[in-house]
Structure 1
């Protein structure tokens, strides 16, 4: 059993400190300035703008074990090395989705990512799978481990480094500070699509005239149509992986479409047609390019790309 202080890991953290906002001019701007862009956005467009500030990469080398999570490492740094380091987390068990970042360039959750799966040796080349995706995660780490098992065992015995892990804010969203990204644009898009059940509001009654407590009872087949979609935790990993969403506010994003699809497929909801009308727009299903990068690392196991294809087909066939 290797003790924690016999092995170390190096975290390369992309840090960011925002510049203080300038006070607004007392007499306003130019009368000829355009008040809003004709290409949409409004407050969402402003939120997607990358804030200005100081950016740098800072390295931290700390004692760690292969089974430790990257969140464990950041908490160690925060408590014992650098209290100024900013990152976000809550449950620490992959249920809340608040700690999504880019690990070695791949969006995922800090609390579910272990050093064993993500640490890489300096100079190692990224692996590309048969679909052309740059994949840095469990598969690559296993291949690296198999090719460098002797070196890894020796380094662990000698008390040297487990490797290097690069951390950056979630792609596609403006950074707020260090590893904290502003995911409000995603949440606002979800809110626009009324992410809650809309039933007809009529209370069913029994033959005796009493309220029927089972008026929304579903068959297992009806539940299966949306049960997986209800596992979405709005972490932003799918949107951080989507090259279309990262390009600006011209796409509502896979997370919002997943939430809309969850209720479109719910037999109890009575607004399916209105929901499909809301996403049948140029920045809705029409903007999806079926890249399927959104499916790569969903922490809840949703095949986002397949679900996107299904909702696109349903909207077009209605």
Structure 2
């Protein structure tokens, strides 16, 4: 009988780790980004501004048994429970609904719980270097392993914290600045204070119904889970101290396009600034990896058009 059925698949997680050093009183008094405008409504200044912490950085490999259909989150939980309890990462629902486990996988911002080993594991490449130490363009060999290979090596997955945010520890990024920016834009429905009633004095619930075409204008935008993958992909956003960022703009657009909201003009005024919508360079990198399927770049472009037309 063949021993192929006894082959155990393994995968290597190459994790960029970070351990912050204790903060001193002198460090607390230092300001934030020198590029942030002090007058910006979207960023802080002085001691209240966020800055990147200092500490020890290193890369650590973990090799463990895994199935191709396992998620990267499954692998990290296995490491946490059986190999290294000090490894830090964040997650909650595990089903792509909360957005708390966004990291960089192989350089791409995405969610740990939706990324599978078979989709993200890659085989290591070996550079073909000549005797003088030079590598010619295109001279890169790839070590290939077949599914039936006796080694059972599925490949390597490189993990790093979400780009554009300060790192708290290992794979945990500090996204508070992004959430604060969203809160400043009042992410809730602001309807008028008049309560519609029927002739009998009861609440007229039908007064608040929307037509399908009205719902379609913002329904997809309401699926945003504020995971930060669009911010991590944006080349303009960096820590949130200046550019408001695509996540906050999507939140604003969701209510601007809601026919029940009466503060559309005020919402447009809030983002119509140098650090707001004007800072977007329309690169559209924010659209590539949205886990909820929102075309972030297109929505922001439509928002720019709305502001210019008013």
TM-score by length of 2: 0.86
1:196 aligns to 2:188 (yes or no): yes
1:79 aligns to 2:118 (yes or no): no
Q: Secondary structure at the match of 2:125?
A: coil
Q: Distance in 2 between matches of 1:6 and 1:246?
A: 42
1:272 aligns to 2:264 (yes or no): yes
Aligned pairs for 1:56-71 within 5 A: 56-71=58-73
Structure 2 residue runs of 5 or longer lacking an equivalent are 128-141
Q: Distance in 2 between matches of 1:6 and 1:207?
A: 72
Q: Per-residue displacement from partner, 1:194-222 (whole Å, max 9, x unpaired)?
A: 00000001100123332212221100110
Q: Distance in 2 between matches of 1:243 and 1:191?
A: 23
1:48–1:248 Cα contact (<8 Å) kept: no
1:47–1:185 Cα contact (<8 Å) kept: no
1:5–1:63 Cα contact (<8 Å) kept: no
Aligned pairs for 1:39-118 within 5 A: 40=40, 41-42=43-44, 48-118=50-120
Structure 1 residue runs of 5 or longer lacking an equivalent are 126-147
2:213 aligned residue: 221
The structure with the largest helix share of the pair is 1
CA gap 1:45/1:171 in 2 versus in 1, 3 angstroms: farther
CA gap 1:177/1:47 in 2 versus in 1, 3 angstroms: farther
Q: Secondary structure at the match of 1:187?
A: helix
1:151 aligned residue: 145
2:11 aligned residue: 9
Deviates more, 1:40-49 or 1:170-179: 40-49
Deviates more, 1:296-305 or 1:214-223: 214-223
Q: Per-residue displacement from partner, 1:153-177 (whole Å, max 9, x unpaired)?
A: 232xx14310001000000000000
Q: 237, 247, 252: which one pairs with 1:255?
A: 247
Q: 155, 167, 173: which one pairs with 1:163?
A: 155
**Residue 4 of structure 1: CA displacement?**
9.3
1:244 aligned residue: 236
Q: Distance in 2 between matches of 1:185 and 1:290?
A: 22
Deviates more, 1:90-99 or 1:48-57: 48-57
1:5–1:64 Cα contact (<8 Å) kept: no
Q: Distance in 1 between matches of 2:76 and 2:126?
A: 23
**Residue 151 of structure 1: CA displacement?**
3.4
**RMSD of aligned residue pairs (Cα, Å):** 2.6
Q: Per-residue displacement from partner, 1:211-268 (whole Å, max 9, x unpaired)?
A: 2122211001100000000000000000000000027622100000000000000000
Q: Distance in 1 between matches of 2:259 and 2:119?
A: 40
CA gap 1:217/1:86 in 2 versus in 1, 3 angstroms: same
**Residue 152 of structure 1: CA displacement?**
1.7
**Residue 275 of structure 1: CA displacement?**
0.3
Q: Per-residue displacement from partner, 1:130-157 (whole Å, max 9, x unpaired)?
A: xxxxxxxxxxxxxxxxxx99832232xx
1:212 aligns to 2:214 (yes or no): no
1:301 aligns to 2:301 (yes or no): no
Q: Distance in 2 between matches of 1:95 and 1:124?
A: 38
How many residues align structurally?
287
Q: Distance in 1 between matches of 2:6 and 2:62?
A: 16
**Residue 50 of structure 1: CA displacement?**
1.1
1:287 aligned residue: 279
